[in-house]
Amino acid sequence: MARRRSREKEPSREDYQLKEQLKIEEGVFDTRTVLRIGKLFNKGVIASMEFIIARGKEADVYLANAGEKVGKDFVALKIFRLENARFQNRIKYIEGDPRFGRVKHDVFAIVNEWCKKEYGNLMVAEGAGVRAPRPYAFNGNVLAMEFLGKEGKPSQTLREQKVKDPEKVLDQILDDTRKLYQSELVHADLSEYNILMLDSLPYMIDFGQAVHIKHPDAMRFLERDVFNVLHYFGKAYKIERDHAETMRFITG
């Protein structure tokens, strides 16, 4: 009988593999996050985790080997920190958005809603034909999406890379901003830090704060996005564009 009980307590092959993979971050992930990563593992979205590729104020991004349900080699796994008071300052991007109801003002509810929001915004971007990571799945504070890079090496940001044809890249960024607006979405945090360059093409990232155009601050956020982009290209490449004319191009 003792031997039978011992067998019954043995973890499944999948649970064992996940436990081994998560040893790379032992003591970093809380139990809740580990369980959520495990669900993506069991669903075939990820097969294993490799290493951290980006650290942010509210989330870290890890490189993961893709599971059988993803037709690529790698997945970018964005893990939002569950205990981060900074998210309290982000509630304005959720509550003013007509797509969402009221959210409890505790960090766990806000983080989970933020992750869900970024997944939904990436779906909108994909539908609009905007260059952005393709969303694969999310669970709680864990978001799986397309990895932008080559051979496991992440792409550089617009700020880190000197582009060969800055006029063309600027036009592409503004055109994607216009496509987002036509799909009733404003990025709301666009800058040279939230654009990755892959094969000389700009890809927008970090869509958690993106809002519906009916959000009361949507136009102010759009004005800020346009200012940030035009200011960077003016400073880095001496390209001058009229702000008001650019706004008219985007909003139609």
Q: Give me the active site residues, please.
A: 189, 206
- Which residues does 190 contact at the CB level (< 8 Å), separation at least 6? 173, 177, 204, 225, 228, 229
* Angle at alpha carbon of residue 186, lines to 183 and 192, rounded to 5°: 125
Is residue 70 within 8 Å of residue 90, measured between CB atoms?
no
Could you give the CA distance from residue 91 to residue 94 in angstroms, rounded to a whole number? 5
Is residue 204 within 8 Å of residue 183, measured between CB atoms?
no
Beta bridge partners of 46: 66
Question: Is the four-CA dihedral 152, 112, 126, 174 of positive or negative sign?
Answer: negative
Three-state SS at 202:
strand
Buried residues in 202-213 as b, exposed as e (16+ CB within 10 A): bbbbbbbbbbbb
Pairing of β 149-150 and β 59-66: unpaired
Could you give the CA distance from residue 46 to residue 142 in angstroms, rounded to a whole number? 12
Amino acid at 27: G
Q: Give me the torsion for CA of 146, 37, 58, 161, rounded to 10°.
A: -30
